[in-house]
Amino acid sequence: MKMKHFGIWVACLLSIAACKPETGYKITAKIAGVEDGVEVILRNGRDTIGSTVVKDGMFGFEGQVSEPFYGDISVEKKNGQWGGKAFSLFVENSDIRIDGDWEDLYKVKITGSQSEDLYNAFRQQVDPLYEERNELHAKMWSVYSGYLYEGGFSEKCIAPGIGVEKQSQTLEERIVKCRLDFIKAHPDSPVSLEVFDGVLSNKYSEEQIREWMKLLSPSLKNLKGYRALENKVVERCKLAKGKPYIDFKVVDMNGKEGMFSDYVKPGQYNMLEVWASWCGHCRVEIPHLKMVQEKYGDRFNIIAVSWDKEDAEWRKAMKEDQPSYLQLRAVKDENGNDVGTAYGLHGIPFSLVIDGEGKIVQQEARAANLDLLMETLYGE
């Protein structure tokens, strides 16, 4: 009798499931110029959601999500070429259509997603600001290209460089305001989580970032996207403005081991400059840093830390470039950690300005950004 009832119960469930309308997503894409058999991957951050191959110039994905997410689709290669291209999109439970061309894959047309439509409306407001920023960066490059490629830094670069940097910082403020205005208008939309990600920067204090987080509706807190954003905030705020710097092990030119903190001068500004002999972008900045050392060295302590593994390569580069400021080399501690571990470095150059109390003032101060900081700190 029990088994009979159990069978009836299962039959009812199956009947209900069969009648239940589909609530998942269906992505249908047509990308011109991609050969059949090419692999296509749908990802949510580092997680692979699914993979497929192109057939008759088309591909697709189906599934179901508990909440919209901002992911990307990568087309791995074309005609046997190495590498691939990718584009981003919001995935939600709807019929999503994608049309585009391999030659201009970053400008695909995406329809059928309300979240994508809302994000595109935001992009129409902010993209012109990013285009203006790119023009400023190009202008900055033209100002500083002289010392990058002509063998020496000139003080005549400073004033125009500072002028462009001030414009750039004003533009960044406008971009942040544009993002915050969108979040204020759409506090309960998952799209605001992606928009907020764009304001995360070490140039702001943790208090400021946390205050901005309050603009997001409490209704978003149960979403995976919110928790992922919160994790990013925690990581980013470890090196936020006003946080204490992180110590690490070094060795000096005499082979004496110690800690970075042994060389930080309390009561004045210090700058950690991480570089290496194999880093061209690091070494072209040396003439500029030598000028900063000459002008502000009595009150601004530059501490260069090489990320070279080989002592000989470090010393060879110093002999060639003749830096005039303090030189150290990072070494691993007993746990195998070094400056890269301490600051989560994925590349160099990397710089960090610290105040007289050992708190972070600014990251990535170099070129005109560093010159403007000197003007701000010392009025010169």
Q: What is the per-residue DSSP string for 222-261?
A: TSHHHHHHHHHHHHHHTTSBTSBPPP-EEE-TTS-EEEGG
Decide if 29 contacts 73 (C-beta within 8 A).
yes
Q: What is the per-residue DSSP string for 86-124?
A: EEEEEE-SSEEEEEEEGGGGGG-EEES-HHHHHHHHHHH
Q: What is the pLDDT of residue 136?
A: 86
The amino acid that residue 150 corresponds to is E
The CA distances from residue 298 to 125, 153, 180, 268, in Å, are 46, 21, 41, 9
Integer Cα distance of 118 and 139 in angstroms = 33
Both tokens of 358, joined, read: 């050992």
Give Cα 287 distance to the centre of its chain: 28
Q: Domains in the chain, please, with CATH?
A: 22-112 (2.60.40.10), 130-237 (no CATH), 249-378 (3.40.30.10)
Please determine, for residue 71, whether its predicted confidence score (pLDDT) is greater than 90: yes
Count other Cβ atoms within 10 Å, centred on residue 156. Answer: 11
| Among 107-116, 159-168, 298-307, 310-319, the least confident range | 159-168
Q: What is the pLDDT of residue 84?
A: 84
The model's pLDDT over 120-149, given as tens digits with 9 standing for 90+, comes to 999 999 999 999 988 888 877 777 665 555
User: What is the SS3 assignment for 172?
Assistant: helix
- Give the confidence band of 1 by pLDDT, cuts at 50, 70, 90: very low
Both tokens of 325, joined, read: 């400021």
The model carries a pTM of 0.84
Count other Cβ atoms within 10 Å, centred on residue 190. Answer: 21
User: What is the SS3 assignment for 182?
Assistant: helix
